[in-house]
Chains A and B, each alone.
Chain A
Amino acid sequence: MSAPSTEANGKRGPRGTVVIDAERCKGCELCIPACPPEVLRMSSNRNASGYLLPELLEGCTGCGACLMVCPDFCFEVYRFDPKAAEGA
């Protein structure tokens, strides 16, 4: 699980994150160049069907571009609430 951490992405902390349905993924790589801050990359992990899976690095903005270009509906997108995260 990923928590909003303040030091992770500069002072403000990460703005968003994604959940990836690894079992539905077909390893097409379309999400990789679609991510504006370039925080998605292919990993060497495979799902039960044998497809290589993407992984997320620090710096997701929660923009949702990955969700729009994934043909297999793998992405769920979240945005952190900056005020609540500061107070935490």
Chain B
Amino acid sequence: MTDPNDPLRVIPTDAPPIGACRKTGDSLPPLTLMGEHDLCPGCGEPLALRQILDAIDAMDMAQRAIGTIGIGCYTALTSLMDIDLIQALHGRAPSVATGAKRMRPETLVFTLQGDGDMVNEGLQEVIHTAARGENVTCILLNNGVFGETGGHMTATTVLGQRTKNSIEGRDAGEHGFPILIGDLLARLEGTAYCARASVHDAKGVARTRRFLDRAFESQMKGQGFSFVEILTMCPTGWFLPTAEGPDYLDQELGAIHEVGELKKDGVLIES
């Protein structure tokens, strides 16, 4: 219970305030059916989901959006989403998105995939989709682990990162180097827009939203393939207390998978 000797006054937060005020933020993201989900405490994936749905809602594309979904922890978030979705086989969402967009060019088509799904299981899918310049937006939630199946190393795991099967840290000699998928896709000619964001703090979340907006705008202008990589916390897979997730994401994964725009209007942005 609240300490009566505490000099700081605790403000009740169980009901809306009385008096002249306006609500400036809803708890539930737009286009959701409910807010309850079974993802772990401190997971970064729901933060990315909020920004994706916010971006679709702000463009007024809810009735014309189609998500093609990969397999990972984020797959469970589909039960919250009130837009049209197609569940793809592991790693194959970019090809499903290709089909949906070619048949319905007026729609906003995006994939929702993890690093295990996109960069391990189905790496060729996203590369060919980008190279063909398909007018779809692929969204990667990159946490450097196969989160859902227990936190094993993926192709994006950074050197030194502890995972279930690199318990002493990923070692280049034994496990090879991480693939920086955003940098790789940016170099393909079919890619019109490419950016990497991170949800480790509120500024990073706001940046994520800006990059999503630009990717979706690029798609609706018919510029070609667009890609937004979003670094997300996985405290469970990283064996970390939830409160340490954001700093670990920023300092360990973010040091290698650097945040920023990599390509805009088909032009590479050199750092």
Interface residues of A, Cβ cutoff 8 Å to B: 1-4, 8, 14, 16-22, 24, 26-30, 32-34, 43-45, 51, 55-58, 60, 62, 64-65, 67-69, 71-81, 83-85, 88
Residues of chain B contacted by A77 (CB below 8 angstroms): 23-25
Residues of chain A contacted by B266 (CB below 8 angstroms): none
Residue from A14, A22, A34 within 8 A of B14 (CB atoms): A22
Scoring B14, B24, B40, B46 by chain A CB atoms within 10 A of each residue's CB, the highest score goes to B24
The answer on a CB contact under 8 Å between B20 and A71 is no
Residues of chain B contacted by A30 (CB below 8 angstroms): 42, 242-243, 245-246
Interchain Cβ contacts under 8 Å between A and B, 7 examples? A1-B17, A16-B21, A58-B9, A72-B37, A78-B21, A79-B21, A81-B20
The answer on a CB contact under 8 Å between A81 and B15 is no
The answer on a CB contact under 8 Å between B9 and A68 is no
Interface residues of B, Cβ cutoff 8 Å to A: 1-2, 8-29, 35-37, 39-47, 50, 199, 201-202, 205-206, 235, 242-243, 245-246
The answer on a CB contact under 8 Å between A72 and B35 is yes
Residues of chain A contacted by B42 (CB below 8 angstroms): 26, 28-30, 71
Residues of chain B contacted by A64 (CB below 8 angstroms): 24-25, 202
Residues of chain B contacted by A18 (CB below 8 angstroms): 13
The answer on a CB contact under 8 Å between A62 and B20 is no
Residue from A56, A81, A83 within 8 A of B13 (CB atoms): A56
Q: Which residue of A lies closest to B202 (CB)?
A: A65
Instruction: Kindly list the 5 A-B residue pairs having the minimum CB-CB distance in the complex, ordered from nearest.
Output: A84-B20, A77-B25, A26-B41, A28-B42, A65-B202
Answer whether A57 and B11 are a contact pair too, CB < 8 Å, given A17-B17, A34-B202.
Answer: yes
The answer on a CB contact under 8 Å between B1 and A69 is no
The answer on a CB contact under 8 Å between B24 and A78 is yes
B232 to chain A, nearest CB (A): 10
Residues of chain B contacted by A21 (CB below 8 angstroms): 27, 35
B73 to chain A, nearest CB (A): 11
Q: How far is the CA of A84 from the CA of B199 in the complex (A)?
A: 36
Answer whether A67 and B21 are a contact pair too, CB < 8 Å, given A27-B41, A28-B41, A57-B9.
Answer: no
Q: How far is the CA of A65 from the CA of B47 in the complex (A)?
A: 12
A88 to chain B, nearest CB (A): 6
Residues of chain B contacted by A45 (CB below 8 angstroms): 1-2
The answer on a CB contact under 8 Å between A79 and B11 is no
Q: How far is the CA of A78 from the CA of B237 in the complex (A)?
A: 35
The answer on a CB contact under 8 Å between A68 and B205 is yes
The answer on a CB contact under 8 Å between B11 and A17 is yes
Q: How far is the CA of A82 from the CA of B36 in the complex (A)?
A: 34
Q: How far is the CA of A2 from the CA of B20 in the complex (A)?
A: 11
Residue from B1, B25, B235, B242 within 8 A of A75 (CB atoms): B25
The answer on a CB contact under 8 Å between A80 and B205 is no
Q: Which residue of B lies closest to A20 (CB)?
A: B13
Answer whether A29 and B18 are a contact pair too, CB < 8 Å, given A1-B12, A58-B9, A71-B39.
Answer: no
Q: How far is the CA of A47 from the CA of B15 in the complex (A)?
A: 16
The answer on a CB contact under 8 Å between A73 and B243 is no
Q: How far is the CA of A21 from the CA of B34 in the complex (A)?
A: 13
The answer on a CB contact under 8 Å between A19 and B202 is no
B36 to chain A, nearest CB (A): 6
Residues of chain A contacted by B25 (CB below 8 angstroms): 64, 67, 75-77
Q: Which residue of B lies closest to A23 (CB)?
A: B36
The answer on a CB contact under 8 Å between B202 and A68 is yes
